[in-house]
Amino acid sequence: MSEETIRINKFLSQSGYCSRREADGLITQERVLINGKMATMGQQVGPKDQILVDGEVLQNKSNKRKIYLAFHKPKGIVCTTDTRVEKDNIIDFINYPERIFSDKTQWRKMVQNQSETIDWPTEIHRALAQLPEEVKPYIVQPVETPKNISYPMEGQYPLKPTSLNLSKNPTYSGKLIGIKGQYLLFEDQTVFNVRSNEGQVVTLKIKPKA
């Protein structure tokens, strides 16, 4: 019995790496290897073939059993994937061993304005490729062009940021000098992560400028 084969661009799409059109571009740029040889447009691949893109080995996930998790979040568990900042996070609570995307946000670099370059169109296609075929017709195609957001900042970004946790320090006084995403930046290099402190009742007192 012969093994079922598919075109290489379809393989890359099903693996979640990129769209078929982007796969054609990778092949044209000679960035795809099949069993150690340069891939050609329209080439067929099977289960035993080894596929590499920029040196990364890919696996076909199209036949992998999909698992859906339904979760009733208990009180006290925070819906965040930032496991290093929030100990009572939903990721550690569910403790499911496999993830498609890993949210390893380097929050210190973020608040220091050291941005990470991400190919958003590729990542969007990668995320959509994980969805079941019966769901995809109901997905509104996202805008390919990412938006640039300019956050207000007065002064310098913190060199040695310190995270403020209201559970440990219920009171704090400082001068707000900037915002970076979900982070409030203060003059004394204190950083307040709004998302990781969700559920807290906060009273703010704002002093007018002298």
The type of residue at 184 is L
pLDDT of residue 63: 55
Strand partners, 153: 178
pLDDT band at 76, cuts 50/70/90? confident
* pLDDT for residue 180 is more than 80: yes
Q: Give the mean pLDDT of 31-41.
A: 92
**Mean of per-residue pLDDT scores for the chain:** 82
Q: Name the percent of the chain lying above pLDDT 70.
A: 88
* Best CA proximity match to 24, nearest among 147, 125, 98: 125
pLDDT of residue 37: 92
* pLDDT for residue 208 is more than 80: no
Look-up of token digits 């970076």: 180
Strand partners, 44: 7
List, for residues 109-142, the tens digit of each pLDDT value: 888 888 777 777 777 777 777 777 777 778 777 6
Dihedral over alpha carbons 105, 195, 127, 72 (to 10 degrees): 130
Domains and CATH numbers, the chain: 1-63+120-146 (3.10.290.10)
pLDDT band at 189, cuts 50/70/90? very high
- Residue 124 · residue 75 · CB < 8 Å: no
Q: What angle do CA 47, 50, 55 make, to 5 degrees?
A: 145
The more confident residue out of 71 and 207 is: 71
pLDDT of residue 39: 93
* Span of 29-33, 85-89, 187-191 with lowest mean pLDDT: 85-89
The more confident residue out of 3 and 147 is: 147
List, for residues 54-75, the tens digit of each pLDDT value: 888 887 655 556 677 888 988 8
* pLDDT for residue 161 is more than 60: yes
Q: Give the mean pLDDT of 40-52.
A: 89
